[in-house]
Amino acid sequence: MIYSVEMALAALRKAYELASEAPPALRPVSARAVSFPNLALPPAGEGSNASEFRDTLTKIERRLAEDVDRWLAQMVDIRLAMTRSTREIFALNPAWPPLDRAPLDKIISQYDAGDKARERVIRSLENEIARIPPDVAVRSVGDVEFFRASVIRVIGLLEKEKNARLQLCDFFSGLRDEAARVRAPVEIVQGVNIEGYKALLMDNARRCIQRIAEIAALPEGWHEGAISKIGIRAIEIAYELVAKRPDLTGLFYIYPTFSGGIVFEFEIGGWDLSVEIASAGGIELYGVKANDEEVLEPLSFFDLGPSLMKHINDRTGAGRDLN
């Protein structure tokens, strides 16, 4: 197999780096470093007005809300990516060295530390409400109320982000435990965990078949009313591809096309490839090389025969273990 435990851990580390990266407005780790008076609020008194003061608060809130939205979206992506890649990697080959839990534990503890820092920030902001900062207290009653309401909304955003981070941390802890469990001794043939491999292939094939069934069920006009129903021939060939290349099923992302066909997208061997099946059954293979300008211009095929498979294998090395 092309994967290794090291790659899995590298992927996890990368995910955690992303996970622990604070949005710009929250970057300080010290609770005292984050408070509204430090965010360049306009001073009260001559030369300042309520509009400027409130605009500044609104801009801060808006920027934070955008950061939190982005961060929550990326957490969902991290979970999906880890489910797809890391579990497969850990399950496949017990011949690899024993799983070293230390790096995972270290990452998780760093993550916990990040959450504690956020907790301090939230407490600090709550204090801001309890005792309005002096440079805000001298403003009008309306401004003070505006400030108080703004801080409450900011705390809500931070709580939302913190809770999502905690859930992600639980997910990673579960993944670590699962990784240890699936690496228990099992039958090994030529270095491969046969039972684990078979179960994995079945899971992956089931995932693909389920997805093709979803696509087949799309109604006429499924996209803004302009797209025809997916062709029966395209559906048949899609099922055939899953049966023919079980080794790739874990990598397939499957979608309907706007011309009533189905496309399999997958990345392997440095290539980002697509096998696009037209509504009536014609097949195209095309792709781009990741981190390179090399491309594979669309090639046409009548069926999923050896010619198409050779083109895939030549570029990816996929399937060698099975051939």
Partner 1 sequence: MIAPVPDEILTDSKEVLFRHIRFSLLHDGQPQSLAFVPLPKDKNFLSVDRGSMMTPRESYGLFTDNGFDCARVYGISVGEFADEKIICRSDPLPSSDAMPRANPAHAVADFSPHTTSQQKLIAKRLKRRALSRGCLYIAV
| Distances 54 to 19, 42, 114, 156 between C-alpha atoms, Å | 31, 9, 30, 19
Least distance between partner 1 and beta carbon 230 (Å): 11
Side-chain half-sphere CA neighbours of 209 within 13 A: 11
Least distance between partner 1 and beta carbon 210 (Å): 10
**Pick 197 or 266: Cβ nearer partner 1:** 266
Beta-strand pair 271-277/295-301: unpaired
**Pick 46 or 293: Cβ nearer partner 1:** 293
Least distance between partner 1 and beta carbon 28 (Å): 22
Dist CA 216 CA 252 (whole Å): 17
What the block records as the tokens of 187 is 């039958």
Dist CA 76 CA 211 (whole Å): 19
3-state secondary structure string across 136-196: HHCCCHHHHHHHHHHHHHHHHHHHHHHHHHHHHHHHHHHHHHHHHHHCCCCCEECCEEHHH
Q: Can you give the binding site for partner 1, defined by CB under 8 A?
A: 18, 62, 65-66, 69-70, 72-74, 76-77, 80, 84, 207, 211, 218, 222-224, 226-227, 253-259, 263, 265, 272, 274, 276, 286-288, 290, 295, 297-298
**Pick 84 or 120: Cβ nearer partner 1:** 84
Least distance between partner 1 and beta carbon 65 (Å): 7
Dist CA 96 CA 164 (whole Å): 33
Least distance between partner 1 and beta carbon 253 (Å): 4
**Pick 144 or 218: Cβ nearer partner 1:** 218
**Pick 81 or 194: Cβ nearer partner 1:** 81
